[in-house]
Amino acid sequence: MEAGAELGGDADARIYQSIFDGVLNHRLMPGTKLPEPELCQLFGVGRAVVRRVLEKLAHDGIVDLRPNKGAVIAEPTPAETSQIFEARRAMERVLVELAVARVTPADLRELRQQLAAEHEAMHRFDQPSWARLASGFHLRIAALARNPVLQRYLTELVSRCSLIVGLYEPPGHAPCEHDEHAAIVDCIERRDAAGAVQRMESHLRELEQRIETSRMQGEKSLAQMLGLAGEHGG
pLDDT in tens, 130-173: 677 888 999 999 999 999 999 999 998 998 888 887 667 665 55
Rounded mean pLDDT of the chain? 85
Strand order, beta sheet including 33-34: 33-34, 70-73, 63-66
Give the CATH number of the domain where residue 33 resides: 1.10.10.10
- 121 burial type by CB count under 10 A (0-12 exposed, 13-18 middle, 19+ buried): buried
Give per-residue pLDDT as tens, 64-119: 999 888 999 998 888 889 999 999 999 999 999 999 999 999 999 999 999 999 88
Cα separation, 27 vs 153, in Å, equals 22
pLDDT of residue 215: 46
Q: CB neighbours of 146 closer than 8 A, spacing ≥ 6? A: 98, 102
1 inside domain: no
pLDDT of residue 33: 94
Do 54 and 121 reside in the same domain of the chain?
A: no
* Count of structural domains within the chain: 2
144 inside domain: yes
Residue 46 confidence class, pLDDT cut points 50, 70, 90: very high
4 inside domain: no
pLDDT of residue 72: 96
90 inside domain: yes
Cα separation, 198 vs 195, in Å, equals 5
Do 49 and 118 reside in the same domain of the chain?
A: no
63 inside domain: yes
202 inside domain: yes
Identity of the amino acid at 232:
H
Length of the chain: 234
Residue 5 confidence class, pLDDT cut points 50, 70, 90: very low
Do 131 and 44 reside in the same domain of the chain?
A: no
Give the CATH number of the domain where residue 164 resides: 1.20.120.530
Give per-residue pLDDT as tens, 113-128: 999 998 888 777 666 6
Do 135 and 191 reside in the same domain of the chain?
A: yes
Identity of the amino acid at 59:
H
Cα separation, 8 vs 25, in Å, equals 25
Give per-residue pLDDT as tens, 168-193: 766 555 557 779 999 999 999 999 99
Cα separation, 146 vs 129, in Å, equals 26
pLDDT of residue 233: 44
pLDDT of residue 76: 87
Handedness of CA 172, 26, 125, 108 (dihedral sign): positive
pLDDT of residue 176: 74
2 inside domain: no
pLDDT of residue 231: 56
Do 29 and 83 reside in the same domain of the chain?
A: no
Do 46 and 154 reside in the same domain of the chain?
A: no
Do 121 and 162 reside in the same domain of the chain?
A: yes
Q: CB 129: neighbour CB atoms within 10 A?
A: 17
Do 48 and 143 reside in the same domain of the chain?
A: no
pLDDT of residue 57: 94
* Across 17-45, average pLDDT: 90
Do 82 and 70 reside in the same domain of the chain?
A: no
Q: CB neighbours of 30 closer than 8 A, spacing ≥ 6? A: 73, 74, 75, 76, 163, 166, 167, 217
Do 128 and 202 reside in the same domain of the chain?
A: yes
* pLDDT over 80 (residue 207): yes
Do 57 and 98 reside in the same domain of the chain?
A: no
> What residue numbers bound the domain in which 51 lies?
10-74+218-232
52 inside domain: yes
The least confident of 10-24, 64-78, 200-214 is 200-214
Do 41 and 97 reside in the same domain of the chain?
A: no
